[in-house]
Amino acid sequence: MLTIGNLAKKTGTKVQTIRYYEQIGLMPEPGRTAGGQRRYGEDELDRLAFVRHARQLGFTLEAIRELLDLSDEPDRSCENAAAIARRQLRQVEQRIARLEALRTELKRMVRECAGGQTADCRVLEVLRDHSECLTDHDEIGA
Task: Give which of a copy of itself, DNA, none residue 20 binds (C-beta under 5 to 8 Å, depending on kind).
Answer: DNA
Residue-wise burial string across 90-100, b where 16 or more C-beta atoms lie within 10 A, e elsewhere: eeeeeeeebee
| Amino acid present at 88 | Q
The set of long-range contacts for 34-38, using a CB threshold of 8 Å and a minimum separation of 24, is 37/3, 37/4, 38/3, 38/4
The least CB distance from residue 52 to a copy of itself, in Å, is 8
Q: Which is nearer to a copy of itself, 4 or 13 (by Cβ)?
A: 13
Q: Does 85 bind a copy of itself (CB under 8 A)?
A: yes
DSSP letter (8 states) at residue 38: E
Task: Give which of DNA, a copy of itself, none residue 85 binds (C-beta under 5 to 8 Å, depending on kind).
Answer: a copy of itself
What is the C-alpha to C-alpha distance for residues 104 and 138, in angstroms, rounded to an integer? 15
Task: Give which of a copy of itself, DNA, none residue 42 binds (C-beta under 5 to 8 Å, depending on kind).
Answer: none
- Contacts with DNA, residue ranges (CB under 7 A): 3-6, 8, 14-17, 19-20, 33-38, 55, 60-62, 140-141
